[in-house]
């Protein structure tokens, strides 16, 4: 016959630990998708051939700041995935347009140095949707496995 005080203590510990376990699984799932270059097995659109620094690196990976920005926040009863705004734009896809300030500088052109005065320029570009985070069957299955494994330990 199980000791009910111990079972209750274990259930309370599970209730306390479960949001952190779910949050860690969400973060790891997002990072795994970025490293795999896909969303639950569906490959992302390829990078443009004329993109700068195109050779030898994965999509959404340059300095690693984006990967490191993926974290979680627990607001009971929810677990929220957080990331920098650029990563969120890649996850959802975005069309960005606006103006950019250019400082005065020197440039070399046709063998001579020229002074360029400060100015503004219009910029516009599309970020294709490269989803790596969100509701997913794979993520739900992983969370279910974690929950079942931890729930079994309550009654041991």
pLDDT 10s digits, 33-74: 998 889 988 898 887 777 766 666 778 887 888 889 999 999
Cα–Cα distance, 51 to 145 (Å, whole number) = 41
Q: Which one is predicted more confidently, 52 or 143?
A: 143
Q: Is the pLDDT of residue 24 over 80?
A: yes
**Residue 111 tokens, joined:** 């063998």
pLDDT of 104:
96
Domain boundaries, position 43: 4-154
pLDDT of 56:
66
- Mean pLDDT along residues 111-122: 94
> What is the total count of domains within the chain?
1
Is the previous residue joined to 139 through a cis bond, with omega within 30 degrees of 0?
A: no
Strand partners for 105:
116
pLDDT of 54:
66
Q: Give the phi and the psi of residue 21 in degrees, each rounded to 5.
A: -65, -45
Query: Considering the entire predicted model, what is its pTM?
Result: 0.76
Q: Tell me the CB-side half-sphere exposure of residue 118, using CA atoms within 13 A.
A: 2
């Amino acid at each position: 016959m199980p000791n009910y005080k111990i079972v209750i203590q274990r259930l309370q510990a599970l209730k306390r630990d479960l949001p952190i376990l779910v949050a860690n699984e969400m973060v790891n799932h997002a990072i795994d998708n970025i490293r795999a270059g896909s969303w639950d097995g569906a490959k992302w659109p390829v990078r443009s051939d004329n993109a700068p620094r195109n050779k030898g690196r994965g999509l959404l990976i340059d300095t690693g700041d984006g990967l490191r920005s993926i974290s979680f926040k627990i607001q009971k009863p929810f677990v929220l995935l957080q990331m920098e705004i650029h990563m969120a734009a890649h996850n959802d896809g975005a069309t960005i347009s606006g103006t950019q300030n250019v400082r005065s500088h020197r440039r070399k052109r046709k063998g001579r140095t020229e002074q360029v005065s400060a100015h503004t320029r219009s910029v516009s570009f599309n970020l294709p949707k490269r989803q790596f985070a969100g509701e997913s069957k794979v993520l739900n299955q992983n969370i279910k496995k974690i929950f079942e494994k931890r729930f079994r330990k309550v009654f041991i």
